[in-house]
Amino acid sequence: MPLHRLLSLLCPGLRIPRLSVLCAQPRPRAMATSSSSCKLPLVAVCQVTSTPDKQQNFKTCAELVREAARLGACLAFLPEAFDFIARDPAETLRLSEPLGGKLLEEYTQLARECGLWLSLGGFHERGQDWEQTQKIYNCHVLLNSKGAVVATYRKTHLCDVEIPGQGPMCESNSTIPGPSLESPVSTPAGKIGLAVCYDMRFPELSLALAQAGAEILTYPSAFGSVTGPAHWEVLLRARAIETQCYVVAAAQCGRHHEKRASYGHSMVVDPWGTVVARCSEGPGLCLARIDLNYLRQLRQHLPVFQHRRPDLYGNLGHPLS
């Protein structure tokens, strides 16, 4: 019987975040590193089931972030819509806040309290143009361990799709696409390139981030129940292999309300394309160590970026200025 289940039966009043065991990391023998694994930076990937209840969502996320800090993580990743998942566009707009609002202040205090960086994967942001547009941005916010906002990326590819069996999604009903990419940001785990969910379907974005120096790509997400089993892991592993980056994907899971459910399966993929950590079912977290020496060795042994032929097919994913 799994330890989590056994403890739940023995102590029914005890709330225990679900924690996935760190997966082994198979590597080509020639690229094994001598680094002591305990010295490598540890990251935590949080999986939650957001609802329209913002305070309950914060309570759940804060519990996972505190657990990540207790386990020694230097950076915790939260999924897209960590703040809330509304029932309709009108509720989405009503619940949204500016970056200087109450909710983000709570997260800045949490980052300071725990002393770790936070990737807030998709904040429903009322931007400076809110009064004119009455629409929001899907904003990926990166906080440092002092609670300061060090980067913001506004999702550039909006999910306007109709998938049979999954229901229509029209993100542009309430959301404006972001105008630009964000240059990779140096963190205690490595240089992080910011993206959000549907962005993973556009390899040009990941290639641009990699050429700009990214070592970790992050795709906080809320994948559906049809596209999830078919595309989720395949796309994440493809982005890792083609860019030779770590890929970190924190995901929404389970039923948010009567109108929507998400696939889950949060994971970390290494630059070889191996899934090195994965969340189990339900809210919880998984942990992975980021080995940048391994990444550099892989890029040296398999120098694909040196072999690109923009003279034949153009520069797919122009380097960021």
Q: Write down the residue that tokens 């679900």 correspond to.
A: 18
Task: Select from 306, 261, 269, 268 the least CA-distant residue to 287.
Answer: 268
Q: Are 257 and 87 in contact (CB under 8 A)?
A: yes
Residues marked active site are found at: 80, 155, 197
Burial 130-146 (b: 16+ CB within 10 A, else e): beeeebbbbbbbbbbbe
Q: Is 123 helix (H, G, I), strand (E, B) or coil?
A: strand
User: Which regions in the chain score pLDDT beneath 50?
Assistant: 1-17, 21, 23-25, 29-30, 33-34
Q: Which CATH class is domain 42-306?
A: alpha beta
- Tell me the per-residue pLDDT of 24-55, one tens digit each, with 9 for 90 and over: 445 554 455 445 677 999 999 999 999 999 99
Residue 23, pLDDT score: 45
Query: What is the rounded distance in angstroms from the CA atom of residue 240 to the CA atom of residue 219?
Result: 11
With vertex at residue 247, the alpha carbon angle to CA 58 and CA 156, rounded to the nearest 5 degrees, is 70
Element (H, E) at 286: strand 284-289
Q: What is the pTM of this model?
A: 0.89
Residue 18, pLDDT score: 53
How many Cα atoms within 13 Å fall on the side-chain side of residue 203? Answer: 14
Dihedrals phi, psi of 209, to nearest 5 degrees: -65, -40
Residue 112, pLDDT score: 98
- Residue spans of the domains in the chain: they are 42-306
Task: Select from 25, 46, 20 the least CA-distant residue to 295.
Answer: 25
Query: What is the rounded distance in angstroms from the CA atom of residue 201 to the CA atom of residue 220?
Result: 13
Largest CA distance in the chain: 65
Q: Are 59 and 264 in contact (CB under 8 A)?
A: no
Strands 117-125, 75-80: pairing is parallel
- Tell me the per-residue pLDDT of 154-173, one tens digit each, with 9 for 90 and over: 999 999 888 888 778 889 99
How is residue 166 written in tokens?
């999954």
Residue 209, pLDDT score: 97
Give long-range contacts, CB 8 A cutoff, 24+ apart: 141-144: 141/99, 141/104, 141/107, 142/117, 142/118, 142/185, 142/187, 142/192, 142/194, 143/107, 143/108, 143/111, 143/117, 143/118, 144/111, 144/117, 144/187
Query: What is the rounded distance in angstroms from the CA atom of residue 209 to the CA atom of residue 196?
Result: 13
Q: Is 309 helix (H, G, I), strand (E, B) or coil?
A: coil
Residue 1, pLDDT score: 47
Residue 258, pLDDT score: 82
